[in-house]
Structure 1
C-alpha cells in the first residue's frame, strides 16, 4: 500500500472512530442507571406517563420519549440523544456513557464471530486474540494497546467475582502471564479469537480455559 493510500486509510479510520464516539452519547432502550432514573423523573414532571420509575429504559420510557420528541418538534426515534437530552434536562449530555460503550463493544465482537484466526491479524479477514479485542473496542471508540500483556494493564484489575460483560479476561497459554485475551460476555463465557476456532464463544472457567485463567481488568 502506497504512502498516499495509507494516509487516506488512517484519516478515514480516525473519522469513523470519531463518529463512533459521537454516536455513543445517547440513552436508549436497554440502558439503566441513575441518569435514566433522572430522565424518567423529568418526563413524569412534564406529564408524560411512566408507571415504573426504576432507572430501566424500557418500552414505557421509550414511548414517553417519543411523545416528548413529537411535542417539541425533535426527531422521533425514542432515543435520548444530545438534542433531546438538552431539551428535556436543560443541560448538556453527560460525557461518560459506559453502558452504550459496552453495548457497542459487544455488538462489534459478535459481528465478526466465525472469523478465522490469523497470527498478527487485526481485521475481519483474520484476528489473533489481542487484535480481536483491540478491533472490538476500537469500533466503540476505545483504544487498547496491541498486545495481550499490555491490555492486561490498560484498565483496573478486578476479581473473578466482579466480572461483568465488556470486561477483558486473560489466560496463560504459550507463555507465562497474560498471553491470551478475550471479552467477558456473562454467564461464565467469553468471546475471543482462538487459534483453533477463530472468533468464538467459550466457557471461561471450565475445561481448557478454566485451567489457564489468569485475571481480568475493566477498561469501561
Structure 2
C-alpha cells in the first residue's frame, strides 16, 4: 500500500520531502521547524512513546493523530478515543507488541509511520506524547471491569468517588473522598474544553455533584456505575449529557 509523508509547518499541513523516510517508503509524522519537543518515554520491549511536537507554539498532535487513524483504517477525527484505541490494540497484538492502545514508536513503525524528533531551543520544555494519558486516567483505566460497591475505594470494587480517590492516590494526588467535596477542588473547566484527566460531575444520584468520573478525552469518561461497574462511556449522550453538572481540573 503506498504510504505518504505528512509534515506541518506553522500549523498548516504541507508535503515535506524527507530523504530517510522517502527511501524507506514510509510516512513521516511530526512537523518541520518544530520549536518545542519532548524526550520520548520508554515502554516495554523498546516500544517508545512518540512526542507531540509544537510548531511555532501550535500543538500539531491532532494532525498526527489523524495520520495514525488513517493508517489504522478508522475515522480520522484527530482524537484518540475508544475506537482508535481498540484498533491500536488489534494492531499491537498482531505485531506481537504490548496491546495497551498507546501509539509508541515500535507500534508506529509496524504501521509504516516514521517519527522525527528535533530538540527544543531551550531543551527544557516538554510536551506530552501522542496518546499518552495522564496518570489519573491510566490508573482509572486499569480498573475497568471492576464491580460497583457503594462506599468502596478499591482496589477491587468502587463507588464513583471511590474510583476517583483511588486513581488520584495512585497518581500522587490527594482529593477529598466524596464527589460533592471533589467538586470544590481544582478549577472549573468549560464543557467544550474538557480534556483527559479532568473530573466530570453528574447529578445521577441526586441534586448537585452526586456522581463523578474521570475524563479520558473531550467526550468520554471512566466512572464506576451502579449498573455496569467501572466502564468508559460517553460524557454527553442522551442519558449522561442530561445529567452533566460541570468539570474541574486538578493541579
TM category, shorter: 0.5 to 0.7
Q: Is residue 235 of structure 2 the alignment partner of residue 204 of structure 1?
A: yes
Name the one with the larger helix percent.
1
Q: 1:130 aligns with which of 155, 161, 164?
A: 161
What SS does structure 1 have at the residue aligned with 2:214?
strand
Where does the alignment leave 5 or more consecutive residues of structure 2 unmatched? Answer: 1-38, 42-48, 58-103, 106-114
Task: Write out per-residue CA displacement over residues 91-139 of structure 1, whole angstroms, 9 at most, x where no aligned residue.
Answer: xx78xx8959952222111111000001111112200001101111211
1:60 counterpart (116, 132, 136): 116
Q: Which residue of 2 aligns with 1:178?
A: 209
Q: CA RMSD in A?
A: 3.3
For the residues of structure 2 that align with 1:163 and 1:187, how far apart are their CA atoms? 5
What's the TM-score, normalizing by structure 1?
0.58
Identify if the C-alpha distance between structure 1 residues 120 and 102 changes in structure 2 by more than 3 Å, giving closer, same or farther.
same
Matches within 5 A, 1:110-121: 110-121=141-152
After superposition, the Cα gap between the structure-2 partners of 1:31 and 1:103, relative to the gap in structure 1 and judged at 3 Å, is farther
How many residue pairs are counted as aligned between the two chains? Answer: 149
Partners in 1 of 2:176 and 2:50 — Cα distance?
Answer: 29
Could you tell me which of 162, 170, 181 is aligned with 2:193? 162
Q: Residue 194 of structure 1 corresponds to which residue in structure 2?
A: 225
Specify every segment of 5 or more residues in structure 1 that has no aligned partner in the other structure, as ranges: 1-25, 38-56, 66-87
1:140 CA displacement: 1.2
1:105–1:153 distance in 2 versus 1, CA, 3 Å: same
